[in-house]
Structure 1
């Protein structure tokens, strides 16, 4: 289950197979177009250099905060202050709308730009914490991947972002390591006799 903030945070991609390759998808116009369309962010493209820099700083902040939550640490007051500042930079008004016979309250931004998009991203993370879902935040156990995801399993036991990709890769690597260790032990016994 992707959320706005997890999709944003995972814009820093690492090759989960362990090649050491990585790419910053914030610098990829096609990724940014998909990201803004998926999350209905009315922010102009292409990014200006100062907008890219601000997005990278927000990503670093959210990454640090997610790592602290996963580790079970309290969030640092300076990080909370920065998160609150990101949300406060884009004022909104409230508007009551009727759709499909139901009323709903909407927050309407006074600006349509990257400042507002960053406020939405920060608010998405804050909402995860406020709703008590912080115990579901995970970082993939594959040390080469480090993808951030929300564990939607009932018993909160999900360890990998994708059981078929990272999960199977790590299972095969553990099997090969055990086999290699057992082979070395067997060959060592044969030489001593």
Structure 2
């Protein structure tokens, strides 16, 4: 009986190790690009010198948490100018949900340079250490098991993300991309605000 229990425990540990080994972390964008296919990069936009809320909305196939905004760098350059256009602003604890995918990547920053961000995929934690202001740090993950969410936590007050990417990997299926009414409506509001801003400028 003891031998059987030992074997069961050993087999269980083996499967746990295999599951952990299935998630590969990339700190090179080039290497991540080489390992993935059918990339979907989020087109974060915001009216000039302003922002758009993504609070509990589904935009471009991703479900966002309560505290989520697309922010134009001109809104507060000291905080949101990361030399990459509009960025995604999230609270210090957040989860992005989406259809099954095998790869995820993003450029990371915080309003407290050097703060650590814990990224959780399939129960596996990875720590990303952010850089000095205006320098975003890339991280990518590829799994041989499809996953449907990525969670973030940081002791910093807010998290900055850009170039959020979902992708297929190797011979694995690409991510599902279905535009939903909420996405189209949100994009319409953004374009309307941009048009209004331009009309005001011309007037």
- Pick 1 or 2: higher relative contact order, CA cutoff 8 A, min separation 6: 2
Indicate the structure with greater strand content: 2
Indicate the structure with greater helix content: 1
**If the length of structure 1 is used for normalisation, what is the TM-score?**
0.25
**If the length of structure 2 is used for normalisation, what is the TM-score?**
0.24
* Bigger Cα Rg: 1
